[in-house]
RNA sequence: GGGCCCAUAGCUCAGCCGGUAGAGCAGCGGCCUUUUAAGCCGUUGGUCGCGAGUUCGAAUCUCGCUGGGCUCACCA
């Protein structure tokens, strides 16, 4: 079998093919020379005294004379990202996690071996520099090197210095190279971390408890999605990778943790797109004695504060739109949306035959309508009307939801874990937050009536039997948990990747995931 | 899965009305002790994604395959 063959040599030892071979060979020769010079290969005895940012801070605002008098010594380490060489001196730009600083290595200041090391340096090498701070003719704070060492030789050359690495596939496959050469990429992932830190602090400050629940589930639930399957050998047990943590988090609310949240991965075995990665990061949080209305207020506050924190303002640019988190978010019920953008009358929302006319007129395909109705054989005409109305909603209403919008009051029939509206049991107390026509969050007042939950699970099982691959399974233990008493609770899930996309302007989810799933390299 | 587009040096890209491959950066050699996209002179480097076909001759035209991008479908 071809699949069992080892990958080509070049895949295991990058660079050992074609002309690249020559570049790698040259660098390995230099590495050997350095080894001879230092008597060590991959030395690890260099000790930095500070980060680059600390060195920059130490010289901040001090002129050349002051620096000369103070003779501030620093030892920094990092990657060489640029070299300006002269015959008997060189400027090298060194970057660590905190920043970039320039070092100046001058032949009549350092010993012969040190100067030799300089000549054996390539862009991309990891070096250590010890020296004193001074200012160059152009007033740039620079380290006058007394000690200069190559700590790790880069055997493979880096991409070109001002175009960087452009090819998106290469950037995803070799994220390490992308991060070395593309500042925008580093900025995106710093922002990602900051988003997660902000969300965490926001909830911590409001007495939410961060918890971890299983990612391997024996029963499928918490969302409508197709799962990944796996197997535990010792227990001889089939398991799903979780599609949502929801049911476990609500068990914790039953247990008395009134406010909980979890930030981690969900896995859904569905198509890939610029908005979907098979594993994605979601925050789910639950608050007892609250309703979905409370969560709308909380979510507005969160998004506004997040924008201010990571962008310094309430707006962000996305797909040519300026999204503003400053004003109160629009609130639009599903039924009102259908009336406003899709020509629905009130009567169309109660009769499946009338609804079907409007849905088809909206451009939904008959096949799609039939597919949806097939899974709802026993539902009422109202439920069916609402269910197929959602198809028209996706097609005709979502494109209008550019500014942050809470879409509210979803059909109960597609919301098996949500609390029914007191005023209309065919609808539920639920909202989804749309921004730039994308669903970013999903929240609802939780269904805490165990008998109703039983019926909803039964409906899911019926749909599954009818061929709905995304229907939930009946979770008996979850229903049992409800019989011990779940307080009135509201819960929400926010897609972190999509929030990061919004905050960074990235239009592809793969650009905000460090290592997105890719096909194996040919 | 459908449609459209892309794949040429380590990187960024030209070349594509068929005549056997080019630039910049990187590299190598030389000059240069305050440069910062440093500069000047010289120079190495390519199975033009893979496989067939058409042709005297294919990076270029045709078909297939692989990988990728956009888009539609599926999907939160």
Closest among A398, A440, A404, A436 to A282, alpha carbons compared: A440
Distance A80 CA to B36 C1' (A): 14
pLDDT at A1: 24
Evaluate if the CB of A319 falls below 7 Å from strand B: no
pLDDT band at A519 (very low <50, low <70, confident <90, very high): confident
Of residues A203 and A461, the one with the higher pLDDT is A203
Residue nearest to nucleotide B69 (CA to C1'): A168
Q: Which two tokens stand for residue A266?
A: 């969900």
**pLDDT digit string, tens, across residues A365-389:** 888 888 888 888 888 999 999 999 9
Residue A239: Cβ within 10 Å count: 18
Mean pLDDT in residue range A490-501: 96
Report in angstroms the alpha-carbon separations of A337 from A344, A396, A410, A427.
Answer: 9, 9, 11, 14
The strand B neighbours among A residues 366-405, by Cβ under 7 Å, are 368, 371, 390, 394
Query: How does DSSP classify residue A396?
Result: I
SS3 A218: coil
The reported pTM is: 0.93
Q: How far, in Å, CA of A180 to CA of A354, rounded? A: 59
Q: Is the model's pLDDT at A395 over the cut of 50? A: yes
What's the N-to-C CA distance of chain A in angstroms? 15
Residue A497 CB lies within 7 Å of the nucleic strand B: no
A256 touches strand B (CB under 7 A): no
Cβ of residue A116 near strand B, that is under 7 Å? no
Q: Check residues A21 and A447 and name the one with the higher pLDDT.
A: A447
Q: So what's the pLDDT on residue A17?
A: 40
pLDDT per position as a tens digit, A33-43: 999 999 988 99
A6, pLDDT greater than 60:
no
A280/B73 CA-to-C1' distance in Å:
22
Residue A12 pLDDT > 50, yes or no?
Answer: no
Rounded distance between C-alpha atoms, residue A95 and residue A105, angstroms? 16
- A504-513 confidence digits (pLDDT tens): 999 999 999 9
Q: What are A158-167's pLDDT values in tens digits?
A: 998 888 899 9
pLDDT at A20: 58
pLDDT of residue A484: 98
Q: Is A407 exposed, middle or buried (0-12, 13-18, 19+ CB in 10 A)?
A: buried
Q: What stretch of H or E contains A119?
A: helix A112-119
What's the 3-state SS for A432-496?
EEEECCEEEEEEEEECCCHHHHHHHHHHHHHHHHCCCCCCCCCCHHHHHHHHCCCCCEEEEEEEH
State the nucleotide closest to A495 in CA–C1' terms: B76
The pLDDT of residue A105 is 96
Give the pLDDT score at A4.
23
What share of chain A has pLDDT > 70, as a percent? 96
Distance of C1' in B39 from CA in A122, Å: 20
Query: Are A281 and A174 within 8 A, CB to CB?
Result: no
3-state DSSP: chain A helix, strand, coil percent, rounded to 5?
Answer: 40, 25, 35
Q: Is the CB of A265 under 7 A from strand B?
A: no
For A185-223, give one letter per residue: b (16+ CB within 10 A) or e. Answer: beebbebbeebbebbeebbeeeebeeeebebebeebbbb
Answer whether any strand B atom is within 7 A of the Cβ of A88.
Answer: yes
- The distance of Cα A30 from the centroid of its chain, to the nearest Å, equals 40
Q: Provide the pLDDT confidence category of residue A109 given band limits of 50, 70 and 90.
A: very high
Does at least one atom of strand B sit less than 7 Å from the CB of A87? yes
Which residues have a Cβ under 8 Å from the Cβ of A49 and sit 6 or more positions away?
A73, A74, A75, A76, A130
Q: What is the pLDDT of residue A310?
A: 96
C1’ B7 / CA A152, Å: 33
Distance CA A7 to C1' B53 in A: 30
- What is the CA A175 to C1' B18 distance in angstroms? 40
pLDDT attached to residue A68: 95
- Say how far A12 CA is from B44 C1', in Å: 26
Residue A319 has pLDDT above 90, yes or no: no
- Mean pLDDT across chain A: 92
Pairing of strands A405-408, A330-333: parallel
Alpha carbons A257 and A12: distance in angstroms, whole number: 49
Rg of chain A over Cα atoms, rounded to whole angstroms, equals: 29
C-alpha closest to that of A251 among A58, A49, A477: A477
Kindly state the helix (H) or strand (E) to which residue A132 belongs, with its residue range.
Answer: strand A126-135
Residue A2 reports pLDDT greater than 70: no
Question: Which residue is nearest to the C1' sugar atom of B30, using CA?
Answer: A87
ipTM of the complex: 0.91
In angstroms, the CA of A508 and the C1' of B36 are apart by 34
Task: Strand B: list positions under 7 Å from protein Cβ.
Answer: 1, 9-13, 24-28, 31-38, 44-47, 66-76
Instruction: DSSP letter for A508, please.
Output: S
Nearest residue by alpha-carbon distance to C1' of B73: A271
Nearest nucleotide, CA A20 to C1': B10
Query: What is the rounded distance in angstroms from the CA atom of residue A353 to the CA atom of residue A292?
Result: 32
pLDDT at A393 over 60: yes
Query: Is the minimum distance from the CB of A172 to strand B below 7 Å?
Result: yes
Question: How does pLDDT run across A127-173, given as a tens digit for each residue?
Answer: 999 999 999 999 999 999 999 999 999 999 999 888 889 999 899 98
CA dihedral A18, A19, A23, A28 (to 10 degrees): 30
Rounded to whole angstroms, the distance from the CA of residue A520 to the C1' of nucleotide B52 is 25
Q: How far apart are CA A246 and CA A224, in angstroms?
A: 12
The nucleotide minimizing the C1' distance to residue A106's CA is B33
Q: What is the pLDDT of residue A374?
A: 82
**Span A190-240, pLDDT tens digits:** 999 999 999 999 999 999 999 999 999 999 999 988 899 999 999 999 999
Confidence of residue A522 (pLDDT cuts 50, 70, 90): low
């Amino acid at each position: 079998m071809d699949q069992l063959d080892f990958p080509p040599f070049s895949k295991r030892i990058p660079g050992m093919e074609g002309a690249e071979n020559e570049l790698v060979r040259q660098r390995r020769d230099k590495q050997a020379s350095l080894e001879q010079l230092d008597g060590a290969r991959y030395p690890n005895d260099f000790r930095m005294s500070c980060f680059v940012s600390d060195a920059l801070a130490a010289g901040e605002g001090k002129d050349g004379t002051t620096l000369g008098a103070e003779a501030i010594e620093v030892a920094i380490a990092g990657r060489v990202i640029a070299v300006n060489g002269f015959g008997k001196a060189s400027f090298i730009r060194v970057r660590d996690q905190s920043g970039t600083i320039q070092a100046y290595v001058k032949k009549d200041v350092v010993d012969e071996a040190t100067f030799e090391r300089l000549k054996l340096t390539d862009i991309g090498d990891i070096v250590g520099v010890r020296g004193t701070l001074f200012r160059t003719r152009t007033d740039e704070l620079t380290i006058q090197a007394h000690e200069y060492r190559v700590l790790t030789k880069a055997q493979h050359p880096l991409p070109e210095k001002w175009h960087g690495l452009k090819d998106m596939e290469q950037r995803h496959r070799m994220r390490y190279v992308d991060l070395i050469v593309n500042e925008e990429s580093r900025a995106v992932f710093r922002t990602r971390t900051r988003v997660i830190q902000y969300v965490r602090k926001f909830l911590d400050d409001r007495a939410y408890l961060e918890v971890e629940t299983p990612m391997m589930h024996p029963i499928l639930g918490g969302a409508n999605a197709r799962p990944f399957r796996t197997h535990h050998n010792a227990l001889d047990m089939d398991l799903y990778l979780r599609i949502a943590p929801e049911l476990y988090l609500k068990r914790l609310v039953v247990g008395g943790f009134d406010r909980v949240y979890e930030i981690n991965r969900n896995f859904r075995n569905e198509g890939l797109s610029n908005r979907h990665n098979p594993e994605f990061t979601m925050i789910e949080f639950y608050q007892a004695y609250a309703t979905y209305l409370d969560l709308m207020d909380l979510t507005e506050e969160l998004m506004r504060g997040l924008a201010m924190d990571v962008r310094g303002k309430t707006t962000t640019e996305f797909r040519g739109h300026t999204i503003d988190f400053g004003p109160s978010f629009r609130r639009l019920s599903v039924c009102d949306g259908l009336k406003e953008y899709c020509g629905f009358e009130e009567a169309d929302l109660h009769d499946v035959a009338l609804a079907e006319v409007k849905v088809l007129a909206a451009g939904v395909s008959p096949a799609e309508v039939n597919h949806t109705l097939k899974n709802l054989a026993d539902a009422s005409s109202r439920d069916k009307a609402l269910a197929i109305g959602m198809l028209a909603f996706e097609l005709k209403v979502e494109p209008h939801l550019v500014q942050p919008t809470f879409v509210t009051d979803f059909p109960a029939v597609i919301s098996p874990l949500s609390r029914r509206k007191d005023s209309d049991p065919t609808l539920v107390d639920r909202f989804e937050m749309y921004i730039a026509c994308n669903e970013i969050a999903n929240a609802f007042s939780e269904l805490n009536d165990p008998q109703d939950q039983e019926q909803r699970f039964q409906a899911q099982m019926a749909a599954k039997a009818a061929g709905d691959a995304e229907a939930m399974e009946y979770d008996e233990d979850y229903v049992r948990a409800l019989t011990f008493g779940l307080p009135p609770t509201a819960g929400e899930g926010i897609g972190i990747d999509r929030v990061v996309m919004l905050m960074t302007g990235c239009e592809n989810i793969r650009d905000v995931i460090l290592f997105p799933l890719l096909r194996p390299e040919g």
